[in-house]
Amino acid sequence: MPEGDVLDLCIVGGLGRMGREVALLAGEDPGFNVVSVLEARAAVAATADYAAATGWSGGHVLLTADAHAAVEPADVVVDFSLPAGFEALLAALAEAPRPLVTGTTGIENKTARLTPLAGRTAVVSAPNMSVGVNILFALSGLVAGLAGEAADIEIVEAHHRGKRDVPSGTALEIADRIGRATGRPVRVGRSKGTQQRGDEVFIHSVRMGGVTGEHSVAFSLEGEVLRIEHAALARRCFAAGALRAARFAAEAKPGLYSMLDVLGLESQER
């Protein structure tokens, strides 16, 4: 644990919506200090003053496109970047390992990509870091196991019109947990035509306006429907979870963890 229990953070994607939320929330907590921000070269060139651009009121922040320079002063790295930024970050952490909290989605084989780093330090990887959504993850697998083959299961997710990945990483994680509990295949949407429902778990995506994030799982049984729903009312819930994960990663042994480990809802699978 760093001296004085203050964690120095590097935020990857710190000029983005989530990165800004993490920085601002960290600025309200004496247990955290943002020392560096890693961003794309064009974003760095267009930003003369990080504090002026984001509302950051703490001390000096190194704003850089150099991943090695960004991670060097940090105790923990918090990543809310795009896939291109993720590649540069992994290369830097391979040379200078730091505990990592990553919420970046849309990356193929992300778990396999993180495994070498997790052998050297703690890595928390989650498609969604809100406490409520991670409770939804746990409940989805539990209910799916209890309902068994009797339920038709549908997942609906809604996000703002600018979200790039479809379906959301959160919806895919819900489906994965249901699939592990039931052994049932997952399908994304339905095509036009005539189809009879089988035993698939379906995911449906909605993109509109400024919706922060909504997820619903419906289990249809004989004569009844059970729904589990979560709505993110502000991005601050994700930032709060990320900081909680950062504190966990700073203290944990090397390994690959989920937010459920952070919340004590399940044991790490080694």
pLDDT in tens, 33-77: 999 999 989 999 999 888 888 888 778 899 999 999 999 999 999
Domain with 147 in it: what CATH number?
3.30.360.10
Options 60, 68, 160, 163, the catalytic residue:
163
The residue type of 151 is: A
Centre a 10 Å sphere on the Cβ of residue 60 and count the other Cβ atoms it contains: 11
Torsion angle of the four alpha carbons 138, 124, 241, 131, in this order, in degrees rounded to the nearest 10: 0
Options 60, 68, 110, 159, the catalytic residue:
159
Verify that 116 and 137 share a domain, yes or no. Answer: no
Verify that 142 and 96 share a domain, yes or no. Answer: no
Verify that 122 and 145 share a domain, yes or no. Answer: no
Q: Is residue 267 part of a domain?
A: no
What 3-state class would DSSP assign to 219?
Answer: strand
Phi, psi of 187 (to 5 degrees): -125, 145
Average pLDDT along the chain: 90
What is the number of domains present in the chain? Answer: 2
- pLDDT of 4 > 80? The answer is no
> Cα–Cα distances in Å, from 250 out to 27, 78, 193, 227?
18, 11, 52, 36
Distance CA 102, CA 130 (A): 13
176 or 48, which is more confident: 176
Verify that 101 and 173 share a domain, yes or no. Answer: no
Centre a 10 Å sphere on the Cβ of residue 138 and count the other Cβ atoms it contains: 14
Strand partners, 231: 214
State if pTM tops 0.85: no
Verify that 146 and 205 share a domain, yes or no. Answer: yes
First to last CA, the chain: 23
Owning domain of residue 177: 131-231
**What confidence score (pLDDT) does residue 266 get?**
66
Verify that 10 and 112 share a domain, yes or no. Answer: yes
Centre a 10 Å sphere on the Cβ of residue 78 and count the other Cβ atoms it contains: 32
* Residue 11 structure tokens: 């935020």
- pLDDT of 21 > 70? The answer is yes
Catalytic (active site) residue 192: no
pLDDT band at 270 (very low <50, low <70, confident <90, very high): very low
